[in-house]
């Protein structure tokens, strides 16, 4: 059997990111063959993933990727057990790698994604990438949501990684900074639809009922009830429909007016917060 030198262990450690003792053990098992040792470490990562599979995951982060030239984009949710791990550089890099793969392959299913060959390294699967990071960090992690989009897309991920927004628009006018500002607006103001017409009917009808009862209870004259209720509903719509919300960077204008002036129309948006469904 070939002697396992410190240089061999160091090389494998740099390549895998795993502790020295794990690297030495894998090299010993592989008789000094570094590529075989990597495979052994990957298998140990899969075993570690299985061992930790039942642990609760309440933390994580959103990963995002946009290829502006090809009009491809994706957002993924990668969950883990603890907040410190969600801010670990390896975990952040993994989330963004998976988002890139998702955008370039168009895979919209988190389970299917795991067995696909990584677009930047065909010798490994997405599952291999996840197991490698799991083996280094020693904490359960899982891709829980993925979404792809094509066309003109902007993605914003909040600095803590817990909130992500994907915005799709029509029109070539306006600049990317404006789209990023609208994404930040969505992250902060949490609209539930682009327009009032897209809000769920049951939600709107329930609010109308509540508003009418409030107006009647206030003792207003019967002939003014409908008018007052309509005014209250318009204010409610301005809180829940994106294009009617006052723009956070200029609250004298609505988001709709700002985008109209820029020649941009919103196709749709997705706002995710880690752990929320």
Could you list the pLDDT tens digit for every one of the 277 residues in the chain? 567 787 777 777 767 666 677 777 777 877 778 787 777 777 666 445 444 445 566 899 999 999 999 999 999 999 999 999 999 999 999 999 999 999 999 999 999 999 999 999 998 999 999 988 888 888 889 999 999 999 999 999 999 999 999 999 998 888 899 999 999 999 999 999 999 999 999 999 999 889 888 887 887 777 777 788 888 989 999 999 999 999 999 999 999 999 999 999 999 999 999 988 6
- Which residue, 57, 7, 64, is CA-closest to 32? 7
Distance CA 124, CA 119 (A): 9
Distance CA 250, CA 247 (A): 5
CA-CA-CA-CA torsion sign (198, 200, 202, 203): negative
Angle at 140 between CA 137 and CA 144, to 5 degrees: 120
Answer yes or no: are the C-beta atoms of 148 and 74 closer than 8 Å: yes
The predicted pLDDT at position 211 comes to 84
Answer yes or no: are the C-beta atoms of 114 and 127 closer than 8 Å: yes
Distance CA 170, CA 64 (A): 20
The predicted pLDDT at position 198 comes to 96
Which residues lie closer than 8 Å to 277 by C-beta, 6 or more apart? Answer: none
DSSP 8-state assignment for residue 170: E
The predicted pLDDT at position 171 comes to 84
Strand arrangement of the beta sheet that strand 59-67 belongs to: 59-67, 72-80, 141-150
**What are the residues facing 60 on neighbouring strands?**
79
| Cα dist from 27 to 9, 10, 45, 48, 68, whole Å | 7, 11, 15, 19, 43
Question: Structural domains in the chain?
Answer: 6-52 (1.10.8.10), 59-190+266-273 (3.30.479.20), 196-263 (no CATH)
The predicted pLDDT at position 46 comes to 47
The predicted pLDDT at position 50 comes to 43
């Amino acid at each position: 059997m070939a002697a396992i030198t410190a240089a061999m262990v160091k090389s494998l450690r740099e390549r895998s990111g795993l502790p020295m003792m794990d690297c030495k053990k894998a090299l010993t098992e592989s008789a000094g063959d570094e590529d075989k040792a990597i495979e052994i470490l990957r298998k140990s990562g899969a075993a570690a993933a299985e061992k930790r599979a039942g642990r609760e995951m309440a933390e994580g982060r959103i990963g995002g990727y946009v290829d502006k030239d090809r009009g491809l984009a994706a957002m993924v949710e990668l969950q883990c057990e603890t907040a410190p791990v969600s801010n670990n550089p390896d975990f952040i890099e993994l989330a963004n790698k998976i988002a890139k793969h998702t955008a370039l392959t168009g895979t919209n299913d988190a389970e299917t994604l795991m067995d696909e060959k990584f677009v930047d390294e065909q010798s490994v699967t997405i599952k291999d990438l996840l197991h490698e990071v799991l083996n280094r960090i020693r904490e359960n992690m899982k891709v829980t949501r993925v979404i792809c989009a094509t066309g003109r897309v902007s993605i914003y991920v909040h600095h803590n990684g817990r909130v992500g927004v994907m915005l799709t628009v029509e029109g070539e006018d306006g600049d990317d900074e404006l789209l990023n500002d609208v994404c930040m607006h969505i992250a902060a103001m949490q609209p539930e639809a682009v327009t009032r017409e897209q809000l769920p009917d049951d939600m709107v009808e329930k609010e109308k009922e509540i508003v009418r009862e409030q107006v009647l209870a206030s003792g207003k004259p019967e002939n003014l009830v409908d008018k007052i209720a309509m005014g209250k509903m318009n204010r409610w719509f301005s809180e829940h429909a994106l294009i009617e919300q006052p723009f956070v960077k200029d609250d004298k204008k609505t988001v709709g007016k700002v985008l109209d002036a820029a020649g941009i129309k919103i196709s749709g948006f997705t706002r995710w917060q880690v752990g929320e469904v």
